Amino acid sequence: MSTFKTLNSIEFVAYLQRELGELGVGAIAISNDIAWRWRYGGAVPTYEDFVRTFSNGVLVQFIITDIHTGRLVGLAATYSFNPQYRTAYIAAMIAPEFLMTGVGIDGIRTFIRYVMKVWDLHKIYMEVPEFNFDQFSAGIGSIFLLEGTLREDIYLATRRWDKLICAIYRSEFMTKWG
């Protein structure tokens, strides 16, 4: 379990680009286990490209660490913020050793609660590649709704995959997790 000193159960450490190497975020983000699953759409950027583009289009992003060990758990980011509609997108990356342990989702839930409160978001979208959906499928109906499918939108590993568009609604999320 991870904790946060003032915001419920996760410790967030605001990042500075010069600290990326020290924290190990870049190494995880560009690793073969992770890079193809999240914001790089199958590409594995160089570390230098990752550092250079780390904040492009991002409203806010936090490092998630385990309070007991200090180990890096992952990263949660909000991007494509639309202040008129009060919507944004979320991307998250969890280190392979923390997948399916509950520690990563604990950090992501705390991050979602934070951005919903600070930016008064009505809805947060997730773009989930079909090949990655099994990791999220337990959250359908309880954390998010599946709103649409972009058929064969992603090309990876010699085949086409759907991109699933999911949404986390403030009212439902805050009632359950707020």
The region of weakest confidence among 28-32, 122-126, 129-133 is 28-32
**Helix (H), strand (E) at residue 154:** strand 145-156
Mean pLDDT over 100-109 rounds to 82
pLDDT in tens, 165-177: 999 999 999 998 8
16/68: higher pLDDT: 68
In the DSSP assignment, the letter for residue 2 is -
**CA-to-CA dists, residue 109 to 92, 106, 114, angstroms:** 11, 5, 9
pLDDT at 39: 60
Q: Across all residues in the chain, what is the average pLDDT?
A: 76
Residue 12's closest CA among 65, 54, 56, 59?
65
Q: What is the CATH number of domain 11-177?
A: 3.40.630.30
Domain spans in the chain, listed from the N-terminal domain onward: 11-177
How far apart (Å, rounded) are the C-alpha atoms in residues 156 and 42? 6
Is the overall model pTM greater than 0.85, yes or no?
no
44/173: higher pLDDT: 173
pLDDT at 132: 79
**CA-to-CA dists, residue 37 to 10, 19, 33, angstroms:** 23, 23, 8
pLDDT at 55: 73
Scanning the structure block, which residue is given the tokens 């200090």? 70
